[in-house]
Amino acid sequence: MSQPPAIPRTDAALIALRRILRATEHYERDLAQAAKLTPAKLRVLQILAGTETRSAMPTQLSTQMGVSQATVTALVDQLDKLGLTQRQRSSTDRRQLHVILTDAGLEALRNAPDALQQHFVTGFQALQDWEQAMLVASLERVAAMLNAQGIDASPLLTLGDISRPRG
Amino acid sequence: MSQPPAIPRTDAALIALRRILRATEHYERDLAQAAKLTPAKLRVLQILAGTETRSAMPTQLSTQMGVSQATVTALVDQLDKLGLTQRQRSSTDRRQLHVILTDAGLEALRNAPDALQQHFVTGFQALQDWEQAMLVASLERVAAMLNAQGIDASPLLTLGDISRPRG
DNA sequence: CACCGATATTTCGGCAAACGAACCTTGCTC
DNA sequence: GAGCAAGGTTCGTTTGCCGAAATATCGGTG
């Protein structure tokens, strides 16, 4: 417990952070393979699943994912081809497009439980209440620190619904 | 204010985690651009810089980075071409190879301060002592949760030296 | 209605990262 | 020295991403 800090705290934190990042990278890849979907495509599906309408516009997707529109187009192209999403022009503004998650898409998501979540959730839920609280606070703090410089801003609703496949 | 947990804790944690990941991805790319190096190449240099001998064998690199040997070969090819690393066959076993960080490579690293660290360190050091402690504990916990399932185990010494450009 | 500027998306060409499989080298063992 | 294992490399391909240019649409203005 009270060890003299052999490793300065900053470094310890950084190392932990790195480890998290690396672990996640891998999970994402494994997961994607299991689901026969690539990470990026999976992310799209997850975002869509997280919306009320199960749909979103490309611009929205590109913002939330932090990639360019061109990239989104490419991804949606493929998801469409797989029948997991569907494009539909907006009736009010025909420039706009709705990318809609199909039933098949939702199904695919169900079969691809997020490995990251699996592990994390399991571990997390085993914690004491106060520990959970502390963890959340900490993570949010880190996120804030990193995010400080912009990048994001979008509320990122992605995960909420997915982790609860409420019938 | 009896807020029914709008976002359950697990989700909150997950969201924060995701945000960290996304932020980091971006930082890595920006950073790489600033340094005229791509993220992957930079990672190689960092690992090398973190060793006693400033060198490592491809297998080692591939393990630590979690990529295949083929990938490492490609990366080292390019670093070699840039004069940032150098290949040298082992004298004891000529199958083996040492990938050595050149002075130029070290220099390149110095000019490429890790953006992730910059931000994080700054923020981190502004925290109260107890907050720092809490954060470290939390991060380590998360790392442990994610790492539980193997993936790595290698001690990941990479960062220690780099974050303190004490020269 | 015809034209203009802004907005939303797609197309195109290109680069980096990564993989698996096939293939050399080298060392070790019998 | 034949054969096998280990360490690397080569080759062909996939994925993810981008910027720039093209396309389509909307909302005015005259």
User: In sequence order, what DSSP letters do the residues of A9-21 get, joined into one string?
Assistant: HHHHHHHHHHHHH
CA A11: distance to chain centroid?
27
User: Residue B12: what are its φ and ψ, rounded to 5°?
Assistant: -60, -45
Cβ within 8 Å, pair B119-A26: no
* Residue A65 pLDDT greater than 60, yes or no: yes
| Predicted confidence band of residue A158 (pLDDT cuts 50, 70, 90) | very low
3-state secondary structure of A37: coil
List A87's β-bridge partners, or say none: A99
B136 vs A: CB within 8 A? yes
Tell me which amino acid residue B38 is.
T
C-beta of residue A64 within 8 angstroms of C-beta of residue A18? no
Nearest of A40, A39, A24, A167 to residue A106 by alpha carbon: A167
The tens place of each residue's pLDDT in chain B, 167 residues long, gives: 455 545 577 777 777 777 777 777 777 777 777 778 888 999 899 899 989 999 999 999 998 888 899 999 999 999 999 999 999 999 999 999 999 999 999 998 887 766 566 677 778 888 888 888 888 888 888 877 775 444 333 333 333 333 333 32
What residues have CB less than 8 Å from A75, skipping those under 6 apart?
A40, A41, A44
Angle value at C-alpha A40, between A36 and A43, nearest 5 degrees: 95
Lookup: tokens for B125: 């050091």
pLDDT digits (tens, 9 = 90+) for A98-124: 999 999 999 888 876 655 566 677 788
How far in angstroms lies nucleotide D7's C1' from the CA of residue B108? 28
B34 vs A: CB within 8 A? no
Protein footprint of strand C, defined by Cβ closer than 7 Å to any strand atom = A 57-59, 69-70, 72-74, 76-77, 87, 93, 95-97; B 32, 38-41, 65-68, 70-71, 74-75, 78, 93-95
